[in-house]
A = this chain, B = another copy of it.
């Protein structure tokens, strides 16, 4: 049974209940889908901003700065920060410390870190579920911040209305971003630390890459915003560019089709996740275990055993 009082408290913006609900979707038991069904009619109002880029580009500093600006506009800001590389880069930890002293005490800001590296997948599912809870809790802006190193992280960044890719003017960074699939998902770029030497060349290189892309009057051309986030320079330009992108999307009728596309990706992930659970139920595990002798002693290849298990699964469901 789901706790209807909890849902009411989420609508009433109660922080402890929001945290509890996010813990429920993170633990990913059968309650997740019940809660998300229950709150579904109350989501869709928040504007979602994805922030991604390589480790060390300054994503968490930028998240902090734009959060402060949105707070000045009296907008409530929810932040989901995902960093699966954090054990090695120290990113999430450092970022959290900065955040805590800076915006963590503001009751109009809610921060949740998900650094669940080594988890059994489903990270993007959980992050997006958590964003829905913040949406139902009447946050105006939801920031999904992730390191751009993996399909799962790209999926999270893409689950936003506006996706920002943060780069630094290191040599070749923009070319690397292109290889990494970040070019395709960026609604605009932030060239952070743009007081560094080589910044202008990096800017020009990125601009050249962007010009090559096909575009027409109806297509959005990603801009490059220069910032020095540590000195709070260029942060307003980011907010203006988010606004410009939002208006463009709405004018051209692209806003809903983008959300539709995102819903499609998300539904696919939920379906796959649920089927996996059914597949590896007790019966599925038993059928796998009983086949293992055959493979070790060389009779059947893993592919042949896989086929047998699929056959058994189809008969079962």
Q: Which residues of A does B touch, CB under 8 Å?
A: 32-33, 36-37, 40-41, 44, 54-55, 84-85, 87-88, 90, 117-121, 148-151, 154, 173, 176-177, 179-181, 256, 259-260, 263-264, 266-268, 270-272, 274-276, 279-280, 288-289, 291-292, 295-296, 298, 300-307, 309-310, 313-314, 317
Contact = CB atoms under 8 A, between A and B. Distances in A.
Interface of A, helix, strand, loop or mixed by DSSP: helix
A37 B296 contact: no
Given A88-B173, A267-B295, A272-B279, 20 more contacts: A32-B303, A33-B306, A37-B304, A40-B301, A54-B88, A85-B149, A87-B176, A87-B180, A90-B176, A117-B149, A117-B180, A120-B151, A149-B149, A256-B296, A259-B296, A260-B296, A263-B296, A264-B292, A266-B302, A275-B313
Given A87-B177, A181-B117, A301-B36, A310 B267 contact: no
A311 to B, nearest CB: 10
Given A288-B268, A303-B33, A88 B263 contact: no
Given A87-B176, A149-B84, A306 B267 contact: yes
A180 B292 contact: no
Nearest to A180: B87
A259 B296 CA distance: 8
A116 to B, nearest CB: 10
Given A271-B309, A306-B267, A306-B271, A40 B298 contact: yes
B263 A292 contact: yes
B296 A267 contact: no
A266 B310 CA distance: 14
A170 B303 CA distance: 42
Contact of A270 (B37, B88, B306): B306
11 contacts: A33-B303, A37-B304, A40-B301, A87-B179, A117-B150, A117-B179, A118-B181, A149-B150, A150-B150, A267-B288, A267-B305
B292 A260 contact: yes
Given A263-B295, A296-B256, A298-B41, A271 B310 contact: yes
B180 A118 contact: yes
Contacts of A303: 32-33, 36-37, 270
A148 B266 CA distance: 27
A301 B119 contact: no
Contacts of A266: 302
Contacts of A176: 87-88, 90
B300 A40 contact: yes
A39 to B, nearest CB: 8
A314 B148 CA distance: 36
Nearest to A317: B314
A128 B301 CA distance: 13
A173 B149 CA distance: 20
Contacts of A41: 298
Nearest to A119: B151
